[in-house]
Structures are given as structure tokens and as C-alpha cells.
Structure 1
């Protein structure tokens, strides 16, 4: 699995960006939103139970990520059409403010090393990538356990200070000074 300090892989994927059939899809690459911090979070499957709780939670924090010059991308190995159908039929996902990437060939998830060995779907992996494309944070959860998007936001805040941040540090608090 790729980890902190590694370059995030190049990719070129179709994405679902709205529920409107006329403008529902877009092409997203590693060069999209160049120069910004990027949050990539992966989930196992569309039309499941834990996944929409996480996706909706990231959606609610999207403005907070944008305020920090960061963009959010959600992804799974489902197609853009499955993503679209899920958004249309799930109330919490209809107005989702970020793209849902379709890694149907499993190229990106394979290169990242986040495919579950038994199920062949993405683990609940999250990557925080800096503006130069370097992975600065990785977290991976079991298929059955949802993650905490608020913790990803806190981690982004800490990374953006470029300072030493103690345990449970929150934006606005003092950082550590090396002696």
C-alpha cells in the first residue's frame, strides 16, 4: 500500500458530479484542481449501509475543506452510472458537492494497494495529498467500520500548519516548539 511520502498515482477516471442526466458526468484526472490539497476517500460498494453515512458526512464538511483550499473526491470500484443511480435514489446523496470517481478497472485502487483481498472492493481508505501530489496522511478501516471525516479535517489543519502538533491538537491551538 502506498503511504506517507509517496507520490499519489496518476489517474484519469469518469466521475458522477450531479443528478442531472445532462451534466451528471465529468472526467477527473490527477491534474484536476492542480495546486490544491486533495482528500481522496474510498468506500467498498454503492447501495450499501455504512458507505452513505460516510459520504454524507464528507459532503456536510465540504465547505470546511474548501475553506482550507482542499478538494474532496470520493471513489469506489462502481461505475459512474451506478454512482448516478445511487445519488438519484438516496436522499442523503442527491446534493453531494464533490465528484464520485468510478475506478471500475480497479487501476487506481490497485496502485494504491487498497483492494480487500477477499472481496476485491476498496477498503475504507483515506488519503490526504498535498499540492505537490505527495501523500501526507493515510488511514484505512475495515469494511464494516465507518471513518470520522471530522478527524480528516483536523489532520488537514495540522498538516497545513507545517508545525509540530500535539495529540488531539485542533485548529487555533498552540503548536509545539522544538527545544
Structure 2
């Protein structure tokens, strides 16, 4: 399986809901290149159970992402109308009212396919009928894209496994620290902790300190 790590993030243009209320056409990933980092995450379905916990978890950390110049973008294979309807329903009634970052409609499933997170297998049988095994929806994929449009971190979870938003922030901190200092970040590194020089001598200095 080929990986997208360290490669150019596939661009897309699609319908999306902005600010929890505005359906817009031609929303594109490319608009952020050169100006913002992007945290792009996929989720399986609107009107489900684990998905809103993740969607709200990203919203609750919005100030942390904005202070790091990161644009959050969510994607699922539902329609933009479905996104909009879900956004109008309060949290206590199973909705995601109050979420402000863009939620993109991948109704054609091309975005999910290009990022390698589309579930199920499908074939065209001898009767020229398209057959699928399981639902053709997105796994819980997460992609950290730098300001040059390069994917620097990715994570793909199966449907039952929700993601850790604090870990996504930690990875952003690690990337931005590396870009600024040129030093690399060891296991479990957190902002403010000791890093490592990207050399053999730096490695020895780290473990002898």
C-alpha cells in the first residue's frame, strides 16, 4: 500500500458548509496553501454516535488550533444538505450545532478515495453491475498538511476508534518546532521539552544529559 506521507496533499474542490450555516460551492483545499497549516479529518457518517464526539472535540480546541495557524476541515461522504441539517440540531438532541469549521461533502467519494480512507471493496461483475462489500464511506482518517501543501503526519482509525485531539495538537507543535529549530522531537515529546539535534552527536548528547 502506497502512503501519502511526505507527498503533496491531493487537492479537492467540493461543496461544503461554513460557519455552521452557509452552504458554499467550490470549497477548495488549495486556498490555504502558503498561508495556513491544515488539519484535514474524515469521519464515517452524519447522525451517528462516535462522530459527533470527535467533531465537538476539535471545535472545543479551536483556540489552540487558531493560535497555531491551523485550519480544521472535516469531510464525510454525506451531502452538504445532510451536513447542514445536522448542524442545526443541538448537541443534547444528537446534533452538532455550534461547530464553525468547514464540513465538506464528498458525495462522489473521490476525496476519500484519493486520501486512501475509503472503506469497502467494489467490483463490476459479468453483468456490468457494480457490487460493493460493505458501506462505501470514509474511515477515520486524519492528515496534517504543512503550508507548502505536504502531508507531514497521518493517522487512519477503524470505525469504532475515536481519535485523540490532544495528540493532533502535539504533532502540530512537533512539526512547527522542527521547522523553526531544525531539531527533531523524540517519543512522547511535548512543547517545551528537550528536543534532539538531527545528527549522531546530538543523539549522544541527548541520552547523556
**What TM-score do the two structures reach when normalised by structure 1?**
0.93
Q: Which residue of 2 is the match for residue 105 of structure 1? A: 108
> If you compute each CA radius of gyration, which structure gives the higher value, 1 or 2?
2
- SS for the counterpart of 1:31 is helix
Instruction: Give aligned pairs, total.
Output: 176
CA deviation profile, 1:69-92 (whole Å, cap 9, x unmatched): 110001100011100111111426
Name the CA distance, whole Å, in 1 between partners of 2:90 and 2:84. Answer: 10
Alignment partner, residue 38 of structure 2: 38
| Aligned-partner Cα distance in 2 for 1:149–1:42 | 13
The answer to which structure, 1 or 2, has the higher relative contact order (CA under 8 A, 6+ apart) is 1
- The TM-score normalised by the length of structure 2 is 0.80
CA displacement 1:47-105 (0-9 Å, x = unmatched): 00000000000011121111111100011000111001111114262111200011111
How far apart in 1 are the matches of 2:148 and 2:137? 28
Deviation digits for residues 94-149 of structure 1, max 9, x if unmatched?
11120001111111111111111232100000000011111000101010110111
* 5+ residue gaps, structure 1: none
Q: Which consecutive aligned stretches of 4+ in structure 1 deviate over 4 angstroms post-superposition?
A: none
Q: Check the 8 A contact 1:12/1:30 in 2, yes or no.
A: yes
Q: Which 10-residue stretch deviates more, 25-34 or 110-119?
A: 25-34
The 3-state SS of whatever aligns with 1:166 is coil
Cα pair 1:17 1:99 within 8 Å, conserved: yes
Residue in 2 that maps onto 1:173: 193
Change (3 A) 1:6 1:19: closer
Q: Secondary structure, in 3 states, of the residue corresponding to 2:15? A: strand
Any residues of structure 2 matched to 1:1-179 within 5 Å, and which? 2-20=3-21, 24-26=22-24, 27-35=26-34, 36-91=36-91, 93-117=96-120, 118-162=134-178, 163-177=183-197, 178=199, 179=201
Quick one: distance in 2 between partners of 1:127 and 1:43? 12
- Root mean square deviation, CA, Å: 1.4
Determine helix, strand or coil for the equivalent of 1:73.
Answer: strand
Name the CA distance, whole Å, in 1 between partners of 2:29 and 2:88.
27
Task: Give the conservation status (yes or no) of the 8 Å contact 1:39–1:127.
Answer: yes
- 8 A Cα contact 1:14 1:80, kept in partner: yes
